[in-house]
Amino acid sequence: MDNNSPKYKLTGNAKFEHVKHDANAMLVSFDIVNPPSKKQPAGSLLHFDLSEYSREGENVDANRILREKFYQAAHFLAENVPAFTALSASVAESGAQRFVLKNPDATRFGIAIFPGVTTIEKIDVNKPVVMVGNLDRLTEFSQIGYERHPKVYLDSNGNKQDLRSAIMVFNQLAMASKDVQQWPLPLTFNGRDFGREETIHNVMKAGFFVRDAINLNADDTPSLYELRLGHTPDKFLAKGYPDPTAVLSTDAKPNKLNQNSELMKAELSEAFVLNRILQVLASQDDRPAQLGSDGHNSNDLAT
């Protein structure tokens, strides 16, 4: 079977609910709802408020696209990267349950304010994490260490699609997880170790997590199928976070070969043939035989 088959989907993954739009069809807010798990039996959710995420001087259509870009990137992750669901649950437990997007003119896309999220701050679920910047302006993409890695994936038709927006969203949400911040990785930069509380340390840990989660290798471009078979870190699984799996879609239609094969089985079944014979005999008893243009009886067993 084609390894990049669109028939495969994730099951048990986070879902998008409570999606709200205003009178101009502008996205206002949405929730990422995480399934129940041993760690969070009632499940959890992340709320995203985009009501202030607009650029002055731009028309409604441009700002609509701006907001949808973020939604689409997050939705892609939930549908195609298993570790995203576990990460989302971890972020919710970390206290970052409310996100507000602002200032799309910021120099790069990232987290500007994250109260109660860093390792030295107290959890405060009442204060939102503020995200700023524009996913279409990824001028400093190399800053988090992806310059030597693929920035695209192969879709179900084998075409290359931009993966950068999803990577950036994934990376920033990873920074909002205390689990990721406390990742036991020996990290160095420019020849020296970084302390637990230093921002660059958390950025690098998030980068390591994202590269592992979506299986980015320097000489490889992942397929959509490979993304869905990605690895959820053992640390998340040990805490009981949900672990989505890739399965054959129940909505998938059988291919043409299978359809023809099943049809042939039905036509050649003993019951089908016997029933067809009885129908023909009954029709011959009810009306006179008719001759076709070739002089043969048209009431034969041909189908």
Buried b / exposed e across 196-223, counting CB within 10 Å, b at 16+? eeeeebbbbbbbbbbbebbbbeeeeebb
Which pLDDT does position 219 carry in this prediction? 66
Query: Taking the CB of residue 298, how many other CB atoms lie within 10 A of it?
Result: 11
Task: Return the amino acid letter for 256.
Answer: K
With beta carbons less than 8 A apart as the criterion, state whether 13 and 164 touch. no
Which pLDDT does position 189 carry in this prediction? 46
Which pLDDT does position 48 carry in this prediction? 97
Which pLDDT does position 141 carry in this prediction? 56
Orientation of helix 82-94 relative to helix 199-213, angle to 10°: 150
Count, residues in the chain = 303
Q: What is the pTM of this model?
A: 0.75
Q: Does residue 85 carry a pLDDT above 90? A: yes
Which of 49-58, 96-105, 233-242, 291-300 shows the lowest mean pLDDT across its residues? 291-300
Residue 219 or 88, more confident: 88
User: pLDDT of 9-64, one tens digit each?
Assistant: 899 999 999 999 999 899 999 999 999 988 899 999 999 999 999 988 888 999 99
Name 135's Cβ contacts closer than 8 Å, sequence gap at least 6. 69, 70, 73, 109, 164, 165, 168, 169
User: pLDDT of 126-165, one tens digit each?
Assistant: 789 999 998 887 655 555 566 667 788 888 888 999 888 9
Which of 12-26, 262-276, 279-293 shows the lowest mean pLDDT across its residues? 262-276
Residue 3 or 241, more confident: 241
For range 244-258, the mean pLDDT: 61
Distance CA(302)–CA(290), nearest Å, equals: 15
Name 217's Cβ contacts closer than 8 Å, sequence gap at least 6. 149, 150
What is the chain written as a DSSP string?
A: --TT-TTEEEES--EEEEEEE-TTS-EEEEEEEEPP-SS-TT-EEEEEE-TT---TT--HHHHHHHHHHHHHHHHHHHHH-HHHHHHHHHHHHHT--EEEEE-TTSSSSEEEE-TTTSTTS---TTSPEEEES-TT--TTGGGGT-TTS--EEE-TTS-EEE-HHHHHHHHHHHHT-HHHHT-----EETTEE--TT-HHHHHHHHHHHHHHHTT-BTTB--BHHHHHTPPPPHHHHHTT----EEEE-TTPPPPHHHHHHHHHHHHTSHHHHHHHHHHHHHHHHHS---B-TTSSBS-SS--
Name 228's Cβ contacts closer than 8 Å, sequence gap at least 6. 8, 9, 10, 80, 81, 82, 246
Which pLDDT does position 145 carry in this prediction? 60
Which pLDDT does position 279 carry in this prediction? 63
Distance CA(233)–CA(276), nearest Å, equals: 59
Residue 80 or 152, more confident: 80
Mean pLDDT over each residue of the chain, to the nearest integer: 77
With beta carbons less than 8 A apart as the criterion, state whether 176 and 94 touch. yes
Closest C-alpha among 241, 80, 52 to residue 169? 80
